[in-house]
Structure 1
Amino acid sequence: MKMVKEVAACSVIGTVVMVGYGVAWSWVSVASIGMGAVSALIMAVIVKLSVAFEKITSAFCLQQQSWAKAKRVLTSWLILVGSKVAAMGAIVILFGDQVQFSGPVSGVLAFYLTIVSILIIESLISKTAKRYRQQPVAAE
């Protein structure tokens, strides 16, 4: 249930970021809020699954006898970067002209900046919510 809530929150944040970038930034083009929402959902699912998979492979690599840390770094990088490329590819294939990332490196830079923005905003909201929940309620 926690992962569903995280994906839902990330999707809402992603939709706002995608549509906002689509309006304000020439490197991102989103035809509609619906396309932004579906794209954000795809990104959220792929990001959350890749992070979960990375944790599993990380633990496995650290149990190895030789080159454990090097294997961990390499597999983590491949999984996390590869998953973003897969997400971008899925969005481009599914939506074509309706959702586009352009600019340097055939839009990869814009896509990564979009993902990083979503993750930063999600982290800030999560930290703020935790801080708010931990504050004692004053008795009246």
Structure 2
Amino acid sequence: MSELKKTLMADMKTAMKEKDTVKKGVINLLRAGIQNQELDLKRELTEEEELKVVQRELKQTKQSLEEGQKANREDIVAAETEKIAIIEHYLPKQLSVDEVKELIAKLGISKESSMGQVVGQMMKETAGSAEGKVVSQAVKEYLNS
């Protein structure tokens, strides 16, 4: 059993003892996502694949948050914000746009490179530690500077 699964199980027990229904629901969502992916692939997921599942759930929750904000639904905004905080706990520290630009500079990527190539390379370099939107923005700023 992977480290993430062990952590999710332990946190699930804690959430149940504390009767924290929101945290329990989020953990169930993450565990189900991982389990469904494993069933689809008929094998255990690697750590990187597990992180992708967690990132996918985070992205969907952020989209729900945006929809709630557009509809001026404070109840949805509050609930989704709480879920985001719980999901982010299971991801590595996320890199900022500036940190990604520093990484691009460290790798010595030329400013004449195509955006697509650089984004692809940076997505591999930052796997799990930066969202695609952040990487894309950082690459665009780096290449245009």
TM-score, length of structure 2 as denominator length: 0.31
Q: Provide the TM-score with structure 1 as the length reference.
A: 0.32
> Which structure has the highest helix share of the two?
1
